[in-house]
């Protein structure tokens, strides 16, 4: 997606440790027109797959996931990082290792929002080592739902995630693929 690449080059900051900071349009401030374009693009790439639900994880996956849900006309569920007292007791859970925080934590989805009839598209902001995507896929499996594919806004292709998802035969679509962040320089694949 050219517009996304342009935004990454204009606003993205390549930090040490292979981390890309995109606080200006995705992870803190959010650009609605860009989110809308991304949602339309994910919908185009997964069209004809009879998707019934979008699944993401809070918080930065929510904006692109909502726009994809809008384009496909389906609801969006986000896995929560904390069990809120308003949540049902009946939950699907997965432990996910956070790439940016370096610690593992539990994620929760209420069972009433994911069931065996669902055809699920997972959306997330970044793909690094694939842990968030795999954790979400685990919850889809626990619900006996069908995983249709995974849509990623920014794939860091120099990390393991893409290879792991490909080896599992998961249809993965990334809107921007980054080959390297070496020397604090952003290079696309």
Contacting ligand 5GP (CB under 6 A), which of 20, 55, 72, 143?
20
132 touches ligand 5GP by CB under 6 A = yes
151 touches ligand 5GP by CB under 6 A = no
- Residue 142 phi, psi (nearest 5): -60, -30
| Cβ distance to ligand 5GP smaller for residue 129 or 146 | 129
129 touches ligand 5GP by CB under 6 A = yes
64 touches ligand 5GP by CB under 6 A = no
Contact by Cβ (8 Å): 49, 121: yes
- Residue 170 phi, psi (nearest 5): -85, 130
Contacting ligand 5GP (CB under 6 A), which of 39, 130, 149, 151?
130
Which strand (E) or helix (H) includes residue 158? none
Q: Tell me what percent of the chain is helix, strand and coil, each rounded to the nearest 5.
A: 35, 35, 35
Contacting ligand 5GP (CB under 6 A), which of 46, 69, 126, 145?
126
Contacting ligand 5GP (CB under 6 A), which of 72, 161, 162, 176?
161
List alpha helices for 12-109, DSSP H.
32-45, 62-72
Q: Cα–Cα distance between 81 and 25 in angstroms, integer?
A: 22
128 touches ligand 5GP by CB under 6 A = yes
139 touches ligand 5GP by CB under 6 A = no
């Amino acid at each position: 997606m050219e517009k996304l690449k342009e935004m990454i080059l204009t606003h993205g900051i390549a930090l040490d440790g292979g981390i890309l900071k995109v606080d200006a349009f995705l992870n803190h401030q959010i650009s609605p027109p860009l989110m809308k374009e991304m949602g339309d693009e994910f919908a185009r790439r997964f069209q004809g797959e009879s998707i019934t639900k979008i699944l993401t994880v809070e918080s930065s996956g929510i904006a692109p996931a909502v726009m994809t849900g809008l384009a496909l006309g389906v609801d969006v569920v986000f896995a929560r990082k904390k069990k809120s007292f308003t949540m049902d007791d009946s939950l699907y859970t997965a432990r996910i290792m956070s790439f940016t925080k370096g610690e593992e934590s539990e994620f929760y989805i209420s069972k009433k929002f994911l069931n065996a009839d669902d055809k699920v598209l997972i959306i997330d902001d970044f793909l690094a080592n694939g842990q968030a995507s795999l954790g979400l896929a685990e919850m889809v499996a626990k619900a006996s739902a069908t995983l249709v594919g995974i849509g990623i806004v920014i794939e860091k292709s120099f990390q393991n995630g893409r290879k792991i998802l490909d080896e599992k035969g998961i249809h993965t679509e990334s809107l921007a693929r980054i080959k390297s962040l070496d020397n604090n320089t952003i290079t696309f694949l």
